[in-house]
Structures are given as C-alpha cells and as structure tokens.
Amino acid sequence: MVKKKITKDMRIGELAQQHPETVEILLEEGVHCVGCGAAFFETIEQGLALHGKSKKEIDDVVTRMNEQIEKKK
C-alpha cells in the first residue's frame, strides 16, 4: 500500500487516520487536539500555527512526519 504524502493542508483527523505513526510528532509539538472535534476541520498548518509555530517550523514538522511514514514502508 502506498501512503499518501503528508501536506500541511491535510486535516488533523485525516492525518491521524491515515498515518497514526505521526501523531506522536504532533503531540511533541504541543498539538494535543488530535482526538478532539477540531481535528476534523483544522489543518495541520492551522493547528501548528495556533500553537505558535512559524511557517518554517510548520514545514519542518511536515518534513519530519513524511520521513516517519517513509520509515514505515
């Protein structure tokens, strides 16, 4: 099964369903709403930005998550 690349415009809930191995990265970054109602309409970028992350930091987190799913292949 080919895993879809993670992008910052993915919904957090979609990310958690498709790539559960990346949830720990969001938790480490202070995004604890992975399981709450906001996860279904908030994007990764929005969630990280609301937790004080810069655009560069958001891009770095997305890169780390993509590296994580590559390890799972």
Span 47-68, pLDDT tens digits: 999 999 999 999 999 999 999 9
Identify the domain containing residue 23 by its residue range. Answer: 12-71
Report the 10 Å Cβ neighbour count for 10. Answer: 19
Residue 1 lies inside a defined structural domain of this protein: no
As a whole-number percent, the residues of the chain with pLDDT over 90 amount to 71
Does 51 reside within a domain? yes
Beta partners for residue 11, in sequence order: 43
Q: In terms of Cα–Cα distance, which of 8, 38, 13 is closest to 23?
A: 13
Q: Does residue 3 lie within any of the structural domains?
A: no
Does any domain span residue 5?
no
Number of domains the chain is built from = 1
The answer to whether residue 4 is domain-embedded is no
> Tens digits of per-residue pLDDT, 16-25?
999 999 999 9
